[in-house]
Structure 1
Amino acid sequence: MTAVKVIRVMGTSEESWEDAAREAFLEASQTVDDISGINVERWTADVEDDEIVQYKATTEIAFPVEY
């Protein structure tokens, strides 16, 4: 039987929210096999001197687990 596990991973980027989401996926894929989906839960950013200095994407990463 297969179940799906979901973990929360935050990615960051100095370029864009899309790059931050990609970074979250790439980080997770280093230790998680067979990722089946990614859901961006929240977009946030750090601001300094009226400019965005770091984009953040909080994601949910789904993958199958056997039991």
Structure 2
Amino acid sequence: MTVVKIIKVLGTSGESFDHAAQEAVHEASQTVEDIHGIEVEDQTATVEDGEIVEYKSTVEVAFPVKHGEE
């Protein structure tokens, strides 16, 4: 039986929502092993002077729970 853990990560980008989500996954993969999938939960942006200056993607990252030395 596989048990999956899910964490939320917020990625940011000056380029796009997609890039912000990719940054979230990239950063999470630095400390989380064996990421199996993601779900983009939310997308927001910071606006200054009528222009988007920062895209933000909240991502749920799924990975298996490992027990002991598998």
TM above 0.5, yes or no, is: yes
Which segments of 5 or more consecutive residues in structure 1 lack a partner in the other structure?
none
TM-score by length of 1: 0.96
**Percent identity of paired positions between Structure 1 and Structure 2:** 64
Is 1:6 the counterpart of 2:11? The answer is no
User: How many residues in Structure 1 have an aligned counterpart in Structure 2?
Assistant: 67
Stretches of 4+ moved more than 6 A in 1?
none
Greater CA radius of gyration, 1 or 2? Answer: 2
Alpha-carbon distance between aligned partners in 1 of 2:25 and 2:38, rounded to the nearest angstrom: 7
Query: When the two structures are superposed, what TM-score results if normalisation uses the length of structure 2?
Result: 0.92
Q: Return the alpha-carbon distance in structure 1 between the equivalents of residues 66 and 44 of structure 2.
A: 34
Structure with the higher fraction of residues in strand conformation: 1
- 2:40 aligned residue: 40
RMSD of aligned Cα (Å): 0.8
